[in-house]
């Protein structure tokens, strides 16, 4: 059984690998560019958080600073204000704060909008972007049925929760990256949009966010750019009636941004830059033999020596400090932000 699956995984990763190599010939400076961007924020993390919070507020977002996973969980439940269902898109931050278990135990029904997560389930995070990378799929009708179900339910949701690939300090803008399209409707259809993002996602400018999105696409997926980038600067607004401003025309009326610390400020203070630069793009997994051996089954976080960085902000017991691997160092070569393990 696992042979069949690893063939699927292998073929996907092989595709990414060869496409990536071609693209890097076209974009030789991309890694260097992104490294500079991430270093800038990491080295000034506290100030960046303050500036970002202020800009986000200036755009009409509610900004909540969560010092740890528990606080993030509680704040989200508070925002839901008794609502018993919420739409969720795929992001590693939800694993970090163990959101699904928390909401379920508080009687909140979760509509996973990522098709891969619906099919493969969310017990094991097999890949940061491709949830079903290790899941055989043969039933076309089943897929169509799930897709339909997501569409029907999403149209009625009052709350949508997403992560963010970047938070732009200068403008108070959130950047969301995807190819499937579910992050768009999770963030646009409901009246309330909740964003959860580690403070390491903060970047200075819109152009920096674009570079980050390019890097994730190239190194993680071997594509020049994924299909959709959504830049969101606050709630939807219109002044078309007598020029009187109203929020919530077609998009959300309220936008909540939960800026998650959960050890990041401490990491900055201790100059542990690596954990603050990781994009969770999956680039390190592409040519990694340990990923296929371990990561697919235990969760992509637990992949060789990268586990130290990937699990840096997971709850204490979930961290992996001294994982061993063959030291082939391919992950170091493939990392867009230059994290060396």
Partner 1 sequence: MGNQTHKIVKSKVTEGLHDMESRKGRFRAFDAIRPAMLKMVPNYPELSNRLRKIKEYSIDHIDEVIANAKRSLEEKGCKVYLAETSEDAQKYIASLIPKEGLVVKSKSNAGKEINISHYLEDLGVTVVETDLGDRINQLAKSEASHSLAPAIHIPIEKVTKLFSEEEGKQLECTPEALVVSARKGLRDFLVKADVGISGANAIAADTGSVFVTENEGNIRAVSMMPKVHIVIAGVEKIVPTLEDAMQVVRAAAVYGVGQDIGTYVSVISGVSESLDPDLEEFSNGQGPKEVHIVLLKNGRKEAIDVGFKESLYCINCGSCLNFCPVYQEVGGKYGYKYLGGRGLVFAAFHGDLEKSEENGLSLCIGCQKCHTACPVQMATPEMLWKLRQDAVAKKGLGWKKDLIFSMLTKPKTLPVVSKLATTFGKLALKESGKGMTSRLTFDSFGLPQERVIPRFSGKSFVEIAQPKPITSPIKKVGFYPGCVVNYTETDLGEALLHVLGENNVEVKLTKEDVCCGIPSIVSGDLNHAKSMALKNIETYSSFDMDALVFVCPSCAVAFKEEYPKLFAEDSLELQEKVKKLAQKAKDINEFLSQDIKLKPPKQKVTETVTYHDPCHLARSMGVKKEPREIIQKIPGVNYVEMQEADSCCGFGGSFSLSFYELSQRINEGKLKNVADTQSTTLATSCPGCMVHFRDGIAQHDMKQKVSHVVQILSRAYGRR
Footprint of partner 1 (CB under 8 A):
8, 12, 15, 59, 113, 115-116, 119, 129-133, 136-137, 140, 143-144, 147, 150-151, 155, 170-171, 173, 179-182, 184-185, 188-189, 206-207, 210, 214, 221, 224-244, 246, 248-252
For residue 29, the minimal CB distance to partner 1 (Å) is 12
Q: Alpha-carbon distance 236 to 252, whole Å?
A: 6
For residue 38, the minimal CB distance to partner 1 (Å) is 18
For residue 294, the minimal CB distance to partner 1 (Å) is 21
Q: Alpha-carbon distance 135 to 121, whole Å?
A: 10
- CA distances 137 to 6, 11, 71, Å, are 14, 15, 38
152 closest CA partner among 113, 192, 191, 108:
113
For residue 105, the minimal CB distance to partner 1 (Å) is 28
Q: Choose between 237 and 272: whose C-beta lies nearer to partner 1.
A: 237
State which H helix or E strand residue 37 sits in.
helix 30-43
In sequence order, what are the beta bridge partners of 112? 88
Q: Choose between 78 and 227: whose C-beta lies nearer to partner 1.
A: 227
Task: Assign 81 to helix, strand or coil.
Answer: coil
- Show the tokens assigned to 159: 């709350």
Q: Choose between 225 and 265: whose C-beta lies nearer to partner 1.
A: 225
Kindly state the DSSP code that residue 243 receives in the 8-state scheme: T
Q: Choose between 123 and 244: whose C-beta lies nearer to partner 1.
A: 244
For residue 309, the minimal CB distance to partner 1 (Å) is 22
- Show the tokens assigned to 102: 């928390």
Q: Choose between 72 and 226: whose C-beta lies nearer to partner 1.
A: 226
- Residue position matching structure tokens 């803008």: 173
For residue 202, the minimal CB distance to partner 1 (Å) is 16
Q: Choose between 252 and 283: whose C-beta lies nearer to partner 1.
A: 252
């Amino acid at each position: 059984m696992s042979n069949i699956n690893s063939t699927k995984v292998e073929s996907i990763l092989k595709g990414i690998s060869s496409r990536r190599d071609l693209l890097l010939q076209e974009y030789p400076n991309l890694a260097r560019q992104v490294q500079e961007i991430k270093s800038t924020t990491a080295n000034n993390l506290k100030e960046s958080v303050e500036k970002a919070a202020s800009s986000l507020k200036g755009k009409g977002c509610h900004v909540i600073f969560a010092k740890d996973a528990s606080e993030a969980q509680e704040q989200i439940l508070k925002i839901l204000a008794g609502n018993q269902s919420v739409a969720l898109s795929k992001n590693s931050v939800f694993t970090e704060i163990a959101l699904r278990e928390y909401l379920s135990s508080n009687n909140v029904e979760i509509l996973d909008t990522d098709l891969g997560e619906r099919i493969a389930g969310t017990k094991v995070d097999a890949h940061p972007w491709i949830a079903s990378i290790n899941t055989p799929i043969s039933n076309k009708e089943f897929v169509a049925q799930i897709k339909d179900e997501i569409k029907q339910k999403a149209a009625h949701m009052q709350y949508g929760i997403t992560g963010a690939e970047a938070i732009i300090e200068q403008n108070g803008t959130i950047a969301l990256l995807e190819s499937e399209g579910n992050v768009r409707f999770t963030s646009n259809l409901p009246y309330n949009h909740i964003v959860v993002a580690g403070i390491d996602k903060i970047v200075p400018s819109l152009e920096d966010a674009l570079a980050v999105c390019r890097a994730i696409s190239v190194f993680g997926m071997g594509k020049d750019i994924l299909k959709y980038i959504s830049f969101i600067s606050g709630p939807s607004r219109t002044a078309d009636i007598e020029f009187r401003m109203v929020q919530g025309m077609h998009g959300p009326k309220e936008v909540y941004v939960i800026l998650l610390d959960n050890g990041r400020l401490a990491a900055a203070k201790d100059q542990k830059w690596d954990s603050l630069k990781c994009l969770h793009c999956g680039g390190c997994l592409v040519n990694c033999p340990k990923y296929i051996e371990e990561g697919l089954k235990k969760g992509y976080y637990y992949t060789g020596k990268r586990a130290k960085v990937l699990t840096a902000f997971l709850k204490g017991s979930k961290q992996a400090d001294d994982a061993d691997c063959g030291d082939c160092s391919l992950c170091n070569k493939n990392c867009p932000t230059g994290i060396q393990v």
